[in-house]
Amino acid sequence: MVSRTSSSDVCAPNVNRESISDEDLIRGFLLALGAGGRKEKTLHIYEESIRMLSDFARSLGLPSLATMDRIHVRHWLTSLH
């Protein structure tokens, strides 16, 4: 069995990957939702929720939104109950 490199792991050799900040990620997410026609109230609720997740992760030293996985999200959801 031959292991393949995922296309998401391939980049030009002269490109440095910079992690995107949670703030930039949230802003892009909300812009995409707004462009998709979501209502203002929906945008507000989504923004509040994603900021809560970001704050939770930061307070526990967890990865940023761009790099966290489902385990981190489950941990946050469990903490809400």
For the stretch 43-66, pLDDT in tens is 999 999 999 999 999 999 999 999
Residue 7 included in any domain: no
Residue 8 included in any domain: no
Residue 4 included in any domain: no
Paired tokens of 13: 């050799």
51: closest CA among 4, 19, 71, 59? 59
**Tens of pLDDT, residues 30-43:** 999 999 999 999 99
Q: What is the pTM of this model?
A: 0.74
Residue 9 included in any domain: no
Give me the domain span that covers residue 49. 20-80
- Number of structural domains (the chain) is 1
Residue 3 included in any domain: no
67/17 Cα distance (integer angstroms): 13
CA 17 to chain centre: 16
Residue 29's alpha-carbon distances to 2, 54, 67, in angstroms, are 36, 13, 15
Which has the higher per-residue pLDDT, 1 or 26? 26
Residue 15 included in any domain: no
Q: Which range (6-15, 30-39, 62-71) has the least confidence?
A: 6-15
Percentage of residues of the chain with pLDDT beyond 90 = 74
Residue 31 included in any domain: yes
Residue 46 near residue 39 (C-beta atoms within 8 A): no
